[in-house]
Structure 1
Amino acid sequence: MNHSTWKTRRARQLAGEAVEYDQEYVAARLAGDLGQAVYSRRIELGLFQTELAERAGMTQPQVSRLEGGDTVPTLSLLRRLAKALEGTLDLTIDEGGSHITFTPRAA
């Protein structure tokens, strides 16, 4: 995307018009949203990255990359993360964006 295309998209967005984004942007946004949800839940539980990694069968650098939005996990890893973070992973994806939350399990 060149600068003039960006300015056009930005102007359209500010004017309240619908703006289409590249698939790479959408994927990066989803990875970032997931990383933020994992980070927030980990902090709520008072866990270090190494502790989460051990619980989820990962390494600390893998947790760091995930929280930074640098990687998109597999479905099996999402299942392990939900268990490790003691909750249910709620993921909603539609054409308007994505919403990701961890809901704590009832005690």
Structure 2
Amino acid sequence: MNHAEWKTRRHCALLGETVEENPEYDRLYEEAELAHDLGQLVYDRRSVLGLSQAGLAERCGMKQPQISRIEGGGTMPTIPLLRRLARALDADPTIELTPHHAAA
């Protein structure tokens, strides 16, 4: 459980709500899911290249704990940082907007 989710659960508990009754939970859950997915992509690409977290950090001018937080889904990097990560991973950053699926 990341810090944002813990804070939401704590907030709900103080209000006497369940997490499912709080609309803020859905937004935070989506953000956490995005952070997790990005972290998995970074981990997978780093592994393919045979880099350690420290090696990747050195290639993109960061520190190893920062890479660990990104891979663990604990932080969402800015777009400029995503560009640096992509270059260090010999990859191109791609952002895609897809429409929601319409209900039939």
- TM-score, normalization by structure 1: 0.68
Equivalent of 1:2, from 18, 35, 45? 18
Change beyond 3 A, Cα 1:95–1:35: farther
Separation in 1 of the partners of 2:26 and 2:61?
33
The percent of aligned pairs where both chains have the same amino acid is 53
Give the C-alpha shift of residue 90 in structure 1: 2.3
Give the C-alpha shift of residue 22 in structure 1: 1.1
What count of residue pairs does the alignment treat as equivalent?
81
Separation in 1 of the partners of 2:86 and 2:53?
15
Residues 45-101 of structure 1 show CA distances to partners (whole Å, capped at 9, x for unaligned) of: 0000000000111100000000000000011100100100001122335465xxxxx
Separation in 1 of the partners of 2:41 and 2:70?
10
Find the counterpart in structure 2 of residue 31 from structure 1. Answer: 35
Separation in 1 of the partners of 2:93 and 2:84?
10
* More helix as a share of residues: 2
- TM-score, normalization by structure 2: 0.70
Equivalent of 1:46, from 32, 47, 50? 50
Query: Unaligned 5+ residue runs, structure 1?
Result: 7-20, 97-107
Aligned-residue CA RMSD (Å)? 2.0
Query: Unaligned 5+ residue runs, structure 2?
Result: 1-16
Letter in 1 for 2:33: R
* More strand as a share of residues: 1
